[in-house]
Structure 1
Amino acid sequence: MKVKTKKVVKWKRHNSCVSNPVQKKFREAAKNRFLEPFGKKSTGPSSLTVESLKKHDIGEQDSAEFDAQTFKTWATDFTCVSNATFGSVLRMHPNSAHQREILAVLAAITEVIKEQGGKETDTEYFAALMTTLETTESAESVTAIAHLLSLVIKRVPVPVLKSRFSQISKKLLDIISTYADKDGTSILKSLLLSLASLLRVQEMGVWSQSSVQHVFNCILTFLTHKKPKVRKSAQQAVKIVLKGSLFMTQPDPPPQHPAASLVAKFCVQVIESQGGANEALDTLHILGLLRDIMSTFPQNSIKSTCETVLRVMTVSNVLVTAAGLAVLHGLFSAQPQKSSLPAQLNAQIITALYDYQPSENDSQKMPAWLAVMEQAHINLVRLDGNLCISHLPKLFSVGMTCLLSERREVAQAAAKTMELLLQECVGKESENLAALTKTTVDFSQTPLGKIVRALESGLSYQFHSSWDLVLHLLGVGLEMLGKICPSLLKKCLRSMAELRETVNFAFSSQLDAAIGKAVKSIGPCLVLESIPLKFTGNEDNLDLARSWLLPIIRDNVCETELSFFTSHFLPLAARFRQKSIECTDQKKTAAAKTYESLQLQIWSMLKGFCTRPTDLSRSFKDIAKVLGTALNERPDLRMDIMAALRTLITHSKSNEADLEAVGKFSKNFVPILFNLYTSNPDNPKDPQRLAVLETTKVFFTVSDFQLVISYLDKCLSKIGEENVESFRKIALLDLAIAMVPYADHAHLKQLLDVAISNVEATDRSLQKKAYRIMEEICACSSDACKNFLSKYLDKLQELLLSSLSSANPNTRAPRLRCLIHILRQLNEPQTSFICAVVPEAILCTKVVGERARVAAYNLIIEISKTLLRWNSNKTEEEVLAGYVDLLLAGLAGSPQLISGTLLALTRVMYEYKENLSGDVLSNLVQNVCLLLKSKTREVVKAALAFIKVMLGAYSTTILTAHLSEMLSGMVSMKQDCKHHCHAKTKQIYLKLIKKFGYEAVHSMTPESVHKVLVNIRKTLDREKRQKNKNDGDEADDATEETPRKPQSESIEELLRDIDSEEEEPSNVKERRILTAKRRKGHQTWLKEETTKPEEKTVSKTAKKDHGFKVAPDGRLIITEPKDDKGEKLASDQEEDLDDLLTAIEGGSEKKRRKRLRNAEAADENENEPSTKYRAGGSGIHRPLQKKATDFGKEYRAKKAGGDIKKKGKPDPYAYVPFNFTSLNKRKQAKMKGQFANLVQGARKGAQKAKKEKRKRK
């Protein structure tokens, strides 16, 4: 019999992509139920009642807080307790029977207290609970009372607990004894904690009484209870008493708690009675407790307990041994007082632990043992440094043995332990050890000598598998021991150099880092004594085996003798230069280049030698003349010399003698630098010129005041000459600007006259320098500049306003910065000046230059600060409202002015987001939403930027009032602007959904937007599911690769993605590429060695990107970078919002991602032949790489029939790749045609092979 099945609804043909259902029965029902219009009549009773109105009136009443009606919870039906002590009870789960019993008991006790006129204090509740506990027999009620008692006893006044100690303890002990052997886990937990709270408030003298000790011993008996919760509560109670007693937390507490010896005695008895055989559960429980409290024991107790722990560790029980090591680790990590753990006892424990040293191949015990020894020595150095140093050699010997272990984790643990001991023990005792070494003749037999020999032994070949760890250790050792006993390290350095020069040494970078630490620690002189360079410049051969030392010294030298560079390296550099010249004359090009490179490497060391030199006041005079001559005659050395001079002065400002020694030679260096800067270079953009100017400024800081004034006089006189060329005049103006902080009133007047004469110059560079002079005068903090500015402030204001029409575009940035400084000097209100400045600031937010845009945003904020300063008698909201009204006037101008005004308003809104009134914000939102209907893309983009920043700046509560208006404005955008700003609007919808939820946004938008909202919701759900995955390492990797973006707090994060149309797709693409790379990096593959080493080298070299384009014949194509002046203005306008964020975050210039993508695409296209056209694009226009699908063709023999096996390839089968495109239904027929005869052909081949095999037999 055929069963009739229910007919299901199926998609129509070609409609499988439709997701919206035709029938909406349940949706309509839900809509009628929850979104019922106000005008529709309801069939049921009205929900608008008197009681409902009272709830709405609660917030408007002026009654006291305790008179207002509160919200009811599920616990309201049980109790109306007002004591905050029981707040945690009311927050517990309502479905628990135990919870309901607790609430019932609490309600009954509260009712009793209220009937007797109580005030519901903690003492009243405590007394009522104790009384109830005596008369209650039900286990459920006793459990509830005990729980409430454990909560309230913590808040009972201390005098009450002290005076009623005997009665309270007796009652609690009676209940404990009743339920000790019963199933009363919760009762025992609560009562044990109650006893701990009772004991912790008792005075120290009470602990000598037997009754108190009896109560405490009762808690100790539960330390080995069979139930884990009871046992844990007992341990917690012991910790509360020993560490949390009142007299232990007060100032000047006693060394130990009186009960500590009782705990120690009990623990020793339990361990000795059970030992470590079999499961030894009680022993493990006690060892777990000792790990946390053993540091609180007195000295005798610590000694006896340690002896017991060490004794039980001899039993061959892995768990007991591990727990014993954990106890000792906890003891040393807590760093107990010297009275509890003296240095001698600490040393004795260290010595005893060597008897329990595990095998170096035991990857579980050995790291634990090393961790205990590490903490033991760190604690010992705190108690007695010399005793600790004497114990270190033996541990280092053991550690070096562990480096030979077969288990890598053991070697790493040993290396980490030795590194920490060098830093914490040797490093902290460096001063004492340095003083001791002065009286020691032979270091070889000292503890430090033994440590160095142990470390040096790691350079032997038997440690080759751990050489990376050994070299890192040696680096730390050289750093710590270098200043203590440098003579001990010479042999070690020689051994390292010999190892570095061995063939195929694989750890050169680690060894170089170790020697670099030696250079920092003991200086280059002692390093070169141990590792000579082996070349003096007089050799005829080019054997430069030790040239690898020069970069190490260059990168690490500091705080050493400058005289060593003068006496050792300068002559060597001179000989190398002479050799280079001789080889050039002899046509030995390779040798000449080698010697030239060596002398440049030596000069590059100068900066390191000038970093806080120890003999600057004595040795600078010996090298000053050489440096001055080199600055004049050696252009290839100028950058190194100037960097060294700047470093020398900058790092010597704290030493007056050093500054004076350098300042004496400023009269020699400054003229050289002046000549270098004012001379016309071959390349106008030579980077050396900026370095020269910076070096000159640094020399001004150490020069005599009159000397700088004389330089300024000469500079001004040459600027005033008529025949001076333009380049030289601009250079002189730069130098004059650098000397503004040192000028007096008369010279400042001359500088201002120079600026005034060049403000309207036709040469834009001269005009820019004029504004730079004014900016420097306004920004300078010297007394002369301040007095001068106060006198000529009106003149500067008039000059800046009058020169606006003639100002060149490249002068906008210094002009705006001048205005910022002038506004800071204005103390009296000048509204007209503000009104004249605001339009320029708004328009400059749209200019091409980034510095000008950043300055414009800063000026807009500075105007607001000035207005607030002028109107201190008004509220901040009133002043800001007036400023916003002033800015809003720009919305009536051109599209560029409107766009700039919106950007300015966005900046002000974000800066004062907490101070703008609701009316001002509403007015802003209304105007912005109105501008969203504009036909101009530029205006619409700025309006969308305002909305996006606003969504990140304000909370949901404030934004709710403007949600409908914002959505209406975005929906009303013109079609062209919608298409152009699609990515930006989607970002805003995403933020709205995150803030208000999908349903709220969906209900306020028309159906035309619903498709975008559905896509956003699906994306969010997908991200949420991806985040919630927890499938081991894969889920962890996925979490790291796609972290949730935190809530934006800075405007940089808020506006990061608004600077270009295609930014969101690009970010998604970059994220996918990064994720793929990370996933690929996490995978592990076994790769067969099918190529020779030579072939690998060639392939790697071929794949290396050298940064140049390559022609088809292999030639390198080197081109000059293109000038960006021809770019469209629109591309710069896309970056307006990036400049808005740079104005806030400091003004650092950032690369534009869109330009970078275009540049990369252009570079890729340039690599292709120019005569061929290559189609491309995205979507259906993407380029497809089609390959012939003749499977097995590569295995066919060229002459004979059948297949052949080729070297380096898999067996000759037809390997069919898994390709998801083969599952496409539209290509189904095509795929069938390709694979129809594949299996049939395989069968024919197999039959043919069988026949041939039979014939051969």
Structure 2
Amino acid sequence: MLKNPPPSPSLDHPAADMCAETALRTLKEITDAAAKNKKHQRAQRDGQSHEPGLIHALQLIKVIASAAGGWPSKKIDALCEILLNISKSSNEFLTMAAFEVFEVIFAGMTDEMSSAKLPRLLEVIGELQPSQNDSQLLPPWIAVLSRGYDVAAQVAPEETFYKLPDLFAMMSNFLASPSHNIRVSASEGMISFLANCIPDTVLLDPSIMDEKVLEKLAKNAADLLSVKYQAAWMEVFNVLGAMFDALRWRAAPIMRNVVETVGGLRSNESFMGKKEADEVLGKAIRAMGPDNVLEYLPLNLHKPIPGQPGRAWLLPIMRDYVANTRLQHFCSELVPLSEVMFGRVMSHGDAEKTMEIKIFETVVHQIWATLPGYCDLPLDLRSAFTEETKLPEMIAQLLYSQVELRTDLCRALQNLVESNKAIAEIEGEEDLVAQSRVSKVDAQENLNHLAGLAPSYLGALFNVYNTTLPQSRGNILNCIGAYLSITPADKLVVTFDEVSRKLEASLSESKPQTQKTKQRGENTNEMPPESHTLMDLVITMSIYLPRESFAALFNIAAVMINKDDDPQLQKKAYKLIPRLAESDSGRTALKDRNTELQQLLLSSAPKATGPAKRDRLAALTQVVEYLDDSDLHFIPSILSEVVMGCKEVNEKARTAAFDLLVLMGERMQQGGTVVQSKIPLMDESAPTVPASLEEYVTMMSAGLAGSTPHMISASITGITRILYEFRTSLPDAVITDLVQTMDLFLTSANREIVRSVLGFVKVSVISLPGSLMLPRLQSLIPNLLVWSHEHKGHFKAKVKHIFERMIRRFGVEVVERNTPESDRKLVANIRKTHNRQKRKKEEAAAGGADGEQSNKPEKRRSKFESEYDEAVYGSEDDSDDSGSDVSDDEAMGRSGGRKKAKASGGAYIIEDEDEPLDLLDRKALGNVSSTKPLKGRAAAQQQQRTKAKVDLDGKLLLGDSSDEDDDMVLDGGDGAASLEAGINAYVSAIKGQDTGARRGRGGKIKFSNRKRSGDDGGDEMEVDEAEVAEKLKGGKQQQQRKPLGGGRVGGGGGGGVGGGRGRGFGKTRGGRIDKGGRGGGGGFRGGRGGRGGRR
């Protein structure tokens, strides 16, 4: 009834008032009852008994509010007051329900008819402002207010924008609150206002009134950097960053004070928030442009201004944030600075580089690292990227001469094209704010300007590519692709013809690869043959070529695919076919020439080399995708090759083979005809059969009669994949036949065949219906158990895992009934293991019930990319939750102590002994620290503790445990500490705690390999970081130590008395070195108590 109001001038439905009054009365009664229960401190269960009633009452209000006309105007005040009180509840469901009601009310006011109620609603919410320190009610109130003004900005953008300074001023008061929750909520509210309440018209064409409002906002933002808000500096920086994001280019010059203040804080060495300040300055650079920011905060590198610090730290920030600015600024300011710095480097000559020269080199690299940002949709491309500025010519010269700058230069050239293409290809109406002030017309003109420069740049890039090592070519090839995409068709054809001519010439000059040249080709420091380089360029150009060039392209592919004397060239030729499928014209050509490609690929099969297998399978995939219904004989023609690909050593080749098997199955399922007489080596009288999934499985089953175990194993693996993929489409009779056949193969004596059959059985147990599998268990289980006693190739573990899956799927009684008496101990063992794990889980859950909710393990994410992989390779452990109930910190005795310290930590003022801190100074915030400053001896000791450790040669020791004292580490500790460490090392060495060493009778040292409780050692195949660090310390650093007796030192931890991790000094007699046993390194042979030695 409420959704169909009668014709009336009133905004509200005639019955809405009565319905709202009834719903409000019910809601108020329930909330009062709940509050009364809480007041009398009843049991928690009784106190929550009214919550379902509350949620139901809120649902009724939501229904009324969502009706035509929305919630009645006269009842808004009472509703808002009740909803805000409910929203401060500790019950998250109630809070969510209250917010949903607000959301429905606001959503109903977006239409033109109901929007007249919005001012009154916002007024009521504003009047309900809680106390400034109410940490329960303020956050939800701020959230509701933010959402309200979001809706208001959609209905009346101009009026809402004019209210923004007052809203900002009100919210800034909450940033001074001692409550962290209030400060965060206030900052999020301010960020919401900035994101939603500044209309695009203000940015594109502001009026005088708009500019005054923006100036007020900027002044409010600058005030937030005073000492009054020092407790909220993190939140303030978030707000400032959001303001730069919202104001975009209008931030200059009104935000100058903010930039200068934050820049001053960043230059202060004692300021603790450098990372956050960098982010604010980065957003300022992106919004205002680097030209404005560098005007306020000069780099001061070439001609420093007296009294101002150097700001080389701005260059990395510019690298990350510069975009959509004036390219002319780079030409006029940064290029001259780069020339000055590079001149200082060159003036040093060939002498050994000093630290100063290395700094100059770094600055040069950082300057050019900003160029990709300057080239990301520049505003003045056609005027700045011309012969007059000499920038295009300079970039071309640097591509040749400065190898280390090539990556940045190629990215810059690529950005020029791709950023403008993105704008030019936008469909629909223009949005100049979203398009960063570059219209589609401007973007297209920019592309036309770059197209004129493309041929010369392509020539330079081709030459540079030809002289670059393969591992460094990626960026150059991407840049070539970008310029090929905008090159005019006629010039592109000329370029392609020239490259094809050179490729033909290089092929006639090249010699067949011998084994020696193949091995030399694998050396990454040698240039590949010219034919390989030119073929890369042909592949890159292929998708941009016009249709008339495809004939020459296919001729190149036909020649290269048959070159079995150069596997790498053959591999590149196969890549050409999938590459063509990336463009519309290429896909059309693949369809038109599909028959020709079928013949080419079938005829070249005997010449396919190992390295080209994966790319050949990818090429076959493209051909299968475009097969006509009459050409399905191609599928059985290549089926044996694809099936054998399932056993390839290369993982990517195996994946490609599996995917192609599935694709061929899908193609056969779609229907068509298989002309068997066209299949190679098939009799011409072979009948034509209709294509179907059953026919496809029959074709694959032919491989089970293969002549070699490898072929049979590959066929079983392929059938397994097909069975899993099409298990719901295959008839039950076909599946039953497959399962029966595999049951027979389990009795084979060949391990390779049985290993594949075990994979098939596992997939069958997991995925096939129980009605098909239960009748087979009687023969399947005894055949499986034959291999449960085989330890080679993990057969025993595989069989056990299949039994675990069967028990989980069919129940332990069914499995046990079909298991012979002599093997039932395996089932009993699985059941005991399962019960033990279940019991541990329950105990862990019970122990962690009193802990925080945040300690619950996250939902397990599969580590497999597909369901099939998980079915085949998933283990018993995968089915259980691997998340621990105890966090890593708690397990190592660091249970939340740091968090408490961090949460309760106060703020400290850092000041000089001679000069007190000026709290009115803008830079005062930089002298506020969250950690207590150390003074005098304490500071010296702290500096000594945190100083990097070095060895005798002055080399840094990385990965060294902080709680171990190595005698080779010059940590400069005091005498008492060193003495205590020496005593501890001696005791540890005598006890042999960490080495497994024990003193036996007569004082002889014995080694034990047994694991002890608390030992960190896990599986021998697992690499532990601590173990690696220990090996490094023992292997590399100890070799540099000279023993007192003058003998040579063995590797490892030998040399200590008792061998305790190399601690202490062992007495030596200059004996020779022996290789260490397991767990220890070499020791001094003949030395007293030396650990190592022969075992």
- Find 2:736's aligned residue among 906, 922, 929: 922
- Find 2:273's aligned residue among 489, 497, 507: 507
Q: CA deviation at 1:402?
A: 1.8
- Find 2:826's aligned residue among 1009, 1021, 1026: 1009
**Does 2:787 align with 1:973?**
yes
Superposition pairs of residues 42-121 of structure 1, within 5 angstroms: none
User: Structure 1 CA distance, aligned partners of 2:854 and 2:838?
Assistant: 19
- Find 1:262's aligned residue among 7, 18, 21: 18
Q: Is the 8 A contact 2:12 2:70 kept in 1?
A: no
User: Structure 2 CA distance, aligned partners of 1:393 and 1:1166?
Assistant: 61
Report the equivalent of 2:480: 696
Q: Residue type of the partner of 2:481?
A: K
Q: CA deviation at 1:1068?
A: 9.7
Superposition pairs of residues 141-220 of structure 1, within 5 angstroms: none
Q: Residue type of the partner of 2:149?
A: H
User: Structure 2 CA distance, aligned partners of 1:1186 and 1:1041?
Assistant: 41
Q: CA deviation at 1:334?
A: 1.2
Q: Is the 8 A contact 2:11 2:113 kept in 1?
A: no
Q: Is the 8 A contact 1:329 1:376 kept in 2?
A: no
Q: Kindly provide the CA deviation profile for residues 849-868 of structure 1, in whole angstroms up to 9, marking residues without a partner as x.
A: 23322332233234334444
Superposition pairs of residues 438-517 of structure 1, within 5 angstroms: 438-440=207-209, 443=211, 446-517=212-283
Report the equivalent of 2:450: 662
User: Structure 1 CA distance, aligned partners of 2:610 and 2:1021?
Assistant: 23
Report the equivalent of 1:571: 336
Report the equivalent of 2:1066: none
User: Structure 1 CA distance, aligned partners of 2:98 and 2:669?
Assistant: 64
Report the equivalent of 1:678: 466
**Does 2:644 align with 1:879?**
no
User: Structure 2 CA distance, aligned partners of 1:1164 and 1:790?
Assistant: 64
User: Structure 2 CA distance, aligned partners of 1:712 and 1:1054?
Assistant: 48
Q: Is the 8 A contact 1:271 1:282 kept in 2?
A: no
Q: CA deviation at 1:932?
A: 2.9
Other structure's SS at 1:482 match: helix
User: Structure 1 CA distance, aligned partners of 2:667 and 2:78?
Assistant: 76
**Does 2:402 align with 1:637?**
no
Q: Is the 8 A contact 1:816 1:859 kept in 2?
A: yes
Q: Kindly tell me: are residues 821 and 332 of structure 1, through their superposed partners in 2, closer, same or farther at Cα, counting changes over 3 Å?
A: closer
Report the equivalent of 2:658: 857
Q: CA deviation at 1:639?
A: 1.0
Q: Kindly tell me: are residues 982 and 1045 of structure 1, through their superposed partners in 2, closer, same or farther at Cα, counting changes over 3 Å?
A: farther
Q: CA deviation at 1:280?
A: 9.0
Other structure's SS at 2:379 match: coil
Q: CA deviation at 1:954?
A: 3.7
Report the equivalent of 1:106: none
User: Structure 1 CA distance, aligned partners of 2:34 and 2:883?
Assistant: 56
Q: Kindly provide the CA deviation profile for residues 1014-1067 of structure 1, in whole angstroms up to 9, marking residues without a partner as x.
A: 134315533763686485453745641574979997223324447xxxxx7899
- Give me the identity figure in percent: 22
Q: Residue type of the partner of 2:542?
A: V
User: Structure 1-normalised TM-score?
Assistant: 0.60
User: Structure 1 CA distance, aligned partners of 2:158 and 2:845?
Assistant: 55
Report the equivalent of 1:433: 202
Superposition pairs of residues 1070-1085 of structure 1, within 5 angstroms: 1075-1077=887-889, 1083-1084=896-897
Q: Matched residue pairs, number?
A: 874
Q: Residue type of the partner of 1:880?
A: L
Q: Residue type of the partner of 2:541?
A: M
User: Structure 2 CA distance, aligned partners of 1:826 and 1:312?
Assistant: 67
Q: CA deviation at 1:369?
A: 4.1
**Does 2:540 align with 1:756?**
no
Q: Kindly provide the CA deviation profile for residues 1122-1173 of structure 1, in whole angstroms up to 9, marking residues without a partner as x.
A: xxxxxxxxxxxxxxxxxxxxxxxxxxxxxxx999859998897566439979
User: Structure 1 CA distance, aligned partners of 2:29 and 2:817?
Assistant: 75
Q: Kindly provide the CA deviation profile for residues 1215-1246 of structure 1, in whole angstroms up to 9, marking residues without a partner as x.
A: xxxxxxxxxxxxxxxxxxxxxxxxxxxxxxxx
Q: CA deviation at 1:259?
A: 2.5
Report the equivalent of 2:521: none
**Does 2:943 align with 1:1094?**
yes
Q: Kindly provide the CA deviation profile for residues 249-279 of structure 1, in whole angstroms up to 9, marking residues without a partner as x.
A: x999984332233356779999999999998
Superposition pairs of residues 244-323 of structure 1, within 5 angstroms: 245=2, 247=4, 255-262=11-18, 305=75
Q: Kindly provide the CA deviation profile for residues 562-606 of structure 1, in whole angstroms up to 9, marking residues without a partner as x.
A: 333333322322222223223557866222211211121121122
Q: Is the 8 A contact 1:523 1:557 kept in 2?
A: yes
Larger Rg: 1
User: Structure 2 CA distance, aligned partners of 1:971 and 1:326?
Assistant: 58
- Find 1:938's aligned residue among 739, 748, 752: 752
User: Structure 2 CA distance, aligned partners of 1:1013 and 1:971?
Assistant: 14
Report the equivalent of 1:768: 571
After TM superposition, the structure 1 stretch with the greater mean CA deviation from structure 2, 992-1001 or 633-642, is: 992-1001
Report the equivalent of 2:354: 589
Q: Which has the higher contact order (CA 8 A, sep 6+)?
A: 2
What is the alpha-carbon root mean square deviation over aligned residues?
5.2
Report the equivalent of 2:105: 334
Report the equivalent of 1:58: none
Report the equivalent of 1:363: 135
Q: Is the 8 A contact 1:343 1:384 kept in 2?
A: no
Q: Kindly tell me: are residues 467 and 887 of structure 1, through their superposed partners in 2, closer, same or farther at Cα, counting changes over 3 Å?
A: same
Q: Kindly tell me: are residues 383 and 830 of structure 1, through their superposed partners in 2, closer, same or farther at Cα, counting changes over 3 Å?
A: closer
Report the equivalent of 1:67: none
Q: Is the 8 A contact 1:291 1:326 kept in 2?
A: no
Q: Kindly tell me: are residues 923 and 1016 of structure 1, through their superposed partners in 2, closer, same or farther at Cα, counting changes over 3 Å?
A: farther
Superposition pairs of residues 511-910 of structure 1, within 5 angstroms: 511-535=277-301, 537-538=302-303, 545-583=310-348, 589-621=354-386, 622=389, 623-653=391-421, 654=424, 655-679=443-467, 681=468, 684-685=469-470, 687-721=471-505, 722-723=508-509, 727-741=529-543, 742=545, 748-749=551-552, 752=555, 755-756=558-559, 759-772=562-575, 779=581, 790=592, 793-794=595-596, 796-827=597-628, 829=630, 833-868=634-669, 871=672, 879-892=692-705, 893-910=707-724
User: Structure 1 CA distance, aligned partners of 2:765 and 2:240?
Assistant: 55
Q: CA deviation at 1:700?
A: 1.7
Q: CA deviation at 1:676?
A: 1.9
Q: Kindly tell me: are residues 542 and 385 of structure 1, through their superposed partners in 2, closer, same or farther at Cα, counting changes over 3 Å?
A: closer
Q: CA deviation at 1:980?
A: 1.9
Q: CA deviation at 1:286?
A: 11
Structure with the larger helix share: 1
Q: CA deviation at 1:474?
A: 1.0
Q: Kindly tell me: are residues 822 and 979 of structure 1, through their superposed partners in 2, closer, same or farther at Cα, counting changes over 3 Å?
A: closer
Other structure's SS at 1:505 match: coil
Report the equivalent of 2:914: none
**Does 2:199 align with 1:415?**
no
Q: Is the 8 A contact 1:730 1:766 kept in 2?
A: yes
Q: CA deviation at 1:508?
A: 1.5
Q: Kindly tell me: are residues 276 and 312 of structure 1, through their superposed partners in 2, closer, same or farther at Cα, counting changes over 3 Å?
A: farther
User: Structure 2 CA distance, aligned partners of 1:757 and 1:259?
Assistant: 82
Q: Kindly tell me: are residues 386 and 717 of structure 1, through their superposed partners in 2, closer, same or farther at Cα, counting changes over 3 Å?
A: closer
Q: CA deviation at 1:431?
A: 2.0
Q: CA deviation at 1:475?
A: 0.8
User: Structure 1 CA distance, aligned partners of 2:833 and 2:26?
Assistant: 64
- Which ranges in structure 2 are unaligned for 5 or more consecutive residues? 40-49, 425-442, 512-527, 676-687, 902-931, 951-955, 971-1018, 1037-1048, 1062-1095
Q: Residue type of the partner of 2:738?
A: L
Q: Is the 8 A contact 1:449 1:488 kept in 2?
A: yes
Other structure's SS at 1:459 match: coil
User: Structure 2 CA distance, aligned partners of 1:1026 and 1:959?
Assistant: 36
User: Structure 1 CA distance, aligned partners of 2:75 and 2:775?
Assistant: 69
Q: Residue type of the partner of 1:1022?
A: R
Q: Kindly provide the CA deviation profile for residues 202-230 of structure 1, in whole angstroms up to 9, marking residues without a partner as x.
A: xxxxxxxxxxxxxxxxxxxxxxxxxxxxx
Q: Is the 8 A contact 1:357 1:369 kept in 2?
A: yes
Other structure's SS at 1:1169 match: helix
Report the equivalent of 1:400: 172
